Chain A
């Protein structure tokens, strides 16, 4: 069996685990990922489940690497089935090849046709029998032991990770778990079916974090101390993570009756001087649009973390798609300049959300952060996320006489008075207003304020963080958000195949920096825009900005399947 290498010659291994409800697929994946982190490797774990609220079949997809991994691979090296009930529903999400190794217990159902590729690469394991031989034993923990052995993780590392994960379950469960892991580990065939992943030379500090946790953490680091929350898949984990952690930082969270309320609650809190955020997904963002326009007009800083899922309408709530770009860019009525950012990896959810909070505060603006289900609900072992250097403080009003809330100034950001300031009492308004804040329908005031709200965003120097540019070459892959990982990997594969390629992953989607973009793509003789939606929303946006060469091509592929590195690779080769 080959172990695939990613662009930087990182050794990676892709593992999938499937099972029906209650078999503990997700727990198994989480402990495996944590074991990988403790051993010193890196990993990415995404998950998929059926539509059932509880008890449906589920799958976890892990990619393990000797360096951080930002995307799933094209296919899987190892598939473990805890049982086969409804597992064929995952056939398109878990592509296997003739070389993939399939591990299963023949007692737990017959191998589905879709996973039956090569009899030479199937390993029958008595998972259930082993679990039953141990009091309180569970099949999934036997499976965990088998996987750990196959991958080459030390037994004590897996046992320790399981111990920490399950410590609240009580002693009997814990002992049974450890025995199961050991029993599974002992089942690893003498003859290695896959080469073990090399042990790392040096282990630096690393984090095991989900994209949604990272977004929540970035919000806290940016200074958010008020959150309004209305639950929605796949964004709820941001809010659920923030609820206790925000409280620990002296902030507070209010559960709203709907998204119309949550957006307006954060506007109210921010008016009170407290940096505020809400998190949602497409349907919720649609409902928030009028409120966001109010925040633009009243110049009240707010941040919305929007975790995208398949749309339109209820769409595919549990699965990923990058299809809310148009909504985030164009959903507002009127001319409503605002900031739209995209997080370029799971770890980058922290950086980008923190940057969004700081930009919103600094520029008294609306910032929408686009992440998606494949980032939010996935976990990764990463280096500690870096932080933006921007000082993200609000410009506050002092004690000036004749205070003008919306005064024109060089940077177009007017000092904001916070209730409690006796000298600068004013009324914030969604009505067009003059510099003082008094409602006005006069053409001059409208033009002045429109221009002010525009240039405060376009004049600002966003620095180098507008995009991440990797690699070099005349082939240029342009992308945003979660497609970045696959695009980078494709660029590296192209480079290795003798076609040097670079990736431009855009973090600052709006206001769009045409000058930066042109400079970054100037030497491209082949340019491909990669994104996970059906309409090519980013491609259309870039065309509207007039920054694409005439021969630029679009690779737009809807969710829920992630874009795979080889799909991008092949698309580029076809165009050469």
Chain B
């Protein structure tokens, strides 16, 4: 392994690659990309010690736009890839990015179990309530009466998924909501999430100006939560269910999870083979 060459501290732009994003002009994800690079610079993390893992979708393109190790995998499976990587390489800082369809629909089972497993991962979901890459279908977080998709011309008629509530019920220890329109607030949440030693879930409202132009009004409706962060899951559950999903901030933070240590090598293959040798 190579260490970082000594030099001046890295700036946010040093964590960006020169690959040009495929995102539409005005997409919320640009601000999320910036916030991630700012958080990494703030924490002065060596670029080679950071891995950014994603699935498929507009937001899942993000790893290629950063200059850290990246894995752009398959739809819905970012969390398992990141979980394997983190267990095999606990020395790395592992971030996971994706969208609402990737994380809550096709990857929904992994979302629950990643919360429960509580590995030291930071999961950043850019929620725009739509499948953008496939040209505008309803996702789990889409409002039931949204009629703009050809696939569901009468709306889904289904209640939208409440990611923070599911994360809480599944055992996540760090649950925050951010907004791409508040990049400083988001950067702060990302820093805290990366520093949290367990699974941190950061739900980022990030508008899709192409399929949900009305989300431009989020600027007016999204606001900071009025209460201080709670460590009590019952209070957190009540707030998450009662609020209008437009409240940002650190919604819930539990104590640090117990970390089982990576077991040290203490035997040899020869010793292991002995269990098969029969006596005579």
Q: Is the CB of B48 within 8 A of A422?
A: yes
Give min CB distance, B72 to chain A, whole Å: 5
Q: Count residues on chain A whose CB falls below 8 Å from chain B CBs.
A: 71
A residues near B72, Cβ cutoff 8 Å: 427-431, 439
Which one of B76-84, B177-185, B237-245 contacts A?
B76-84
Which one of A252-260, A500-508, A519-527 contacts B?
A252-260
Give min CB distance, B82 to chain A, whole Å: 6
What CA separation (Å) do A226 and B273 show in the bound complex?
19
B residues near A426, Cβ cutoff 8 Å: 69-70
B residues near A430, Cβ cutoff 8 Å: 72-74
Across the interface, A264 reaches (CB within 8 A) one of B63, B81, B271, namely B81
Q: Is the CB of A221 within 8 A of B269?
A: yes
Q: Is there a chain B Cβ closer than 8 Å to A245's Cβ?
A: yes
Q: Mark B241-280, 1 if CB is under 8 A from A, else 0.
A: 0000000000000000000001111110101110011111
Which one of A19-27, A124-132, A265-273, A359-367 contacts B?
A265-273
Q: Is there a chain A Cβ closer than 8 Å to B150's Cβ?
A: no
Q: Mark A195-210, 1 if CB is under 8 A from B, else 0.
A: 0000000010111110
Which one of B87-95, B135-143, B203-211 contacts A?
B87-95
B residues near A427, Cβ cutoff 8 Å: 52, 63-64, 69-72
Which one of A32-40, A458-466, A543-551, A564-572 contacts B?
A32-40
Across the interface, B77 reaches (CB within 8 A) one of A213, A249, A291, A438, namely A291
Across the interface, A217 reaches (CB within 8 A) one of B51, B63, B82, B276, namely B276
Q: Which of A41-66 contact B (CB under 8 A)?
A: none
Q: Is there a chain A Cβ closer than 8 Å to B68's Cβ?
A: yes
Q: Is the CB of B89 within 8 A of A425?
A: no
Q: Which of B1-53 contact A (CB under 8 A)?
A: 1-5, 19, 46-49, 51-53
Q: Mark A253-290, 1 if CB is under 8 A from B, else 0.
A: 01011101111111111111110100000000000001
Q: Considering the complex, give the chain B residue whose CB is closest to the CB of A39.
A: B280
Across the interface, A267 reaches (CB within 8 A) one of B46, B73, B279, namely B73
Q: Is the CB of B276 within 8 A of A213?
A: yes
What CA separation (Å) do A59 and B263 show in the bound complex?
39
Residue from A226, A249, A262 having most chain B Cβ neighbours under 10 A: A249
B residues near A213, Cβ cutoff 8 Å: 276
A residues near B47, Cβ cutoff 8 Å: 422, 425
Q: Is there a chain B Cβ closer than 8 Å to A487's Cβ?
A: no
Q: Which of A176-211 contact B (CB under 8 A)?
A: 203, 205-209
Q: Which of B184-208 contact A (CB under 8 A)?
A: none
What CA separation (Å) do A40 and B264 show in the bound complex?
37
Q: Is there a chain B Cβ closer than 8 Å to A228's Cβ?
A: yes
Q: Is the CB of B265 within 8 A of A249?
A: yes
Q: Is the CB of B265 within 8 A of A418?
A: no
Assess A274 versus B88: contact at CB under 8 Å? Given A213-B276, A254-B83, A261-B77: yes
What CA separation (Å) do A205 and B273 show in the bound complex?
12
Q: Considering the complex, give the chain A residue whose CB is closest to the CB of B50.
A: A419
B residues near A419, Cβ cutoff 8 Å: 48-49, 51, 69, 85, 89, 92
A-B contact count (CB 8 A): 197
Assess A268 versus B267: contact at CB under 8 Å? Given A206-B278, A273-B89: no
What CA separation (Å) do A455 and B201 show in the bound complex?
42
Give min CB distance, A385 to chain B, whole Å: 9
Across the interface, B265 reaches (CB within 8 A) one of A250, A267, A276, namely A250
A residues near B53, Cβ cutoff 8 Å: 268
Q: Is the CB of A260 within 8 A of B92?
A: no
Q: Is the CB of B88 within 8 A of A226?
A: yes
Q: Is the CB of A425 within 8 A of B88?
A: no
Q: Mark A128-154, 1 if CB is under 8 A from B, else 0.
A: 000000000000000000000000000
Q: Considering the complex, give the chain B residue whose CB is closest to the CB of A255.
A: B117
Give min CB distance, B209 to chain A, whole Å: 23
Q: Is there a chain A Cβ closer than 8 Å to B109's Cβ?
A: yes
Assess A267 versus B5: contact at CB under 8 Å? Given A427-B71, A428-B70: no
B residues near A38, Cβ cutoff 8 Å: 278-280
Q: Is the CB of A217 within 8 A of B92?
A: no
Give min CB distance, B90 to chain A, whole Å: 9
Q: Is there a chain B Cβ closer than 8 Å to A575's Cβ?
A: no
Q: Is the CB of B278 within 8 A of A294?
A: no
Q: Is there a chain A Cβ closer than 8 Å to B113's Cβ?
A: yes
Give min CB distance, A219 to chain B, whole Å: 11
Interface residue SS majority, chain A: mixed
Assess A291 versus B74: contact at CB under 8 Å? Given A269-B85, A419-B48, A425-B68: yes
Q: Is the CB of A268 within 8 A of B85?
A: yes
Q: Considering the complex, give the chain B residue whose CB is closest to the CB of A419.
A: B69
B residues near A381, Cβ cutoff 8 Å: 278
Across the interface, A272 reaches (CB within 8 A) one of B88, B272, B280, namely B88
Give min CB distance, A248 to chain B, whole Å: 4
Q: Is there a chain B Cβ closer than 8 Å to A116's Cβ?
A: no
A residues near B67, Cβ cutoff 8 Å: 425
Q: Is the CB of B272 within 8 A of A220?
A: yes
Q: Considering the complex, give the chain A residue whose CB is closest to the CB of B274.
A: A207
Assess A438 versus B19: contact at CB under 8 Å? Given A220-B272, A298-B71: yes
Give min CB distance, A544 to chain B, whole Å: 28
Residue from B2, B85, B88, B265 having most chain A Cβ neighbours under 10 A: B88
Assess A266 versus B84: contact at CB under 8 Å? Given A257-B110, A272-B89, A422-B48: yes
What CA separation (Å) do A546 and B232 show in the bound complex?
68
Q: Considering the complex, give the chain B residue whose CB is closest to the CB of A272.
A: B89
Q: Is there a chain B Cβ closer than 8 Å to A247's Cβ?
A: yes
B residues near A254, Cβ cutoff 8 Å: 83-84, 87
Q: Is the CB of A267 within 8 A of B84?
A: yes
A residues near B279, Cβ cutoff 8 Å: 38, 160, 164
Across the interface, A40 reaches (CB within 8 A) one of B89, B277, B280, namely B280
Assess A265 versus B81: contact at CB under 8 Å? Given A208-B276, A272-B88, A425-B67: yes
Assess A209 versus B88: contact at CB under 8 Å? Given A260-B80, A427-B70: no
Q: Is the CB of A271 within 8 A of B278?
A: no
What CA separation (Å) do A220 and B276 show in the bound complex?
14
A residues near B51, Cβ cutoff 8 Å: 271-272, 419
A residues near B1, Cβ cutoff 8 Å: 418, 420-421
Assess A207 versus B277: contact at CB under 8 Å? Given A245-B272, A272-B85: yes
Residue from A245, A258, A268 having most chain B Cβ neighbours under 10 A: A268
B residues near A268, Cβ cutoff 8 Å: 53, 71, 80-86, 88
What CA separation (Å) do A34 and B83 show in the bound complex?
41
B residues near A270, Cβ cutoff 8 Å: 84, 88
Across the interface, A248 reaches (CB within 8 A) one of B87, B88, B266, B278, namely B266
24 A–B contacts, CB within 8 A, in A order: A164-B279, A205-B277, A206-B278, A207-B277, A208-B278, A213-B276, A220-B269, A225-B88, A249-B269, A250-B262, A251-B263, A252-B263, A256-B80, A261-B77, A276-B88, A291-B74, A294-B73, A294-B77, A420-B49, A422-B3, A422-B48, A423-B2, A425-B69, A427-B70
Which A-B residue pairs are the 9 nearest by beta carbons?
A: A427-B70, A250-B265, A268-B84, A265-B84, A269-B88, A264-B80, A268-B81, A268-B85, A420-B1
Chain B residues with CB under 8 Å of chain A are 1-5, 19, 46-49, 51-53, 63-64, 67-74, 76-77, 79-89, 91-92, 109-110, 112-113, 262-267, 269, 271-273, 276-280
Known: A249-B265, A269-B88, A294-B73. 6 other contacts (CB 8 A): A208-B278, A260-B109, A264-B84, A269-B84, A381-B278, A425-B47
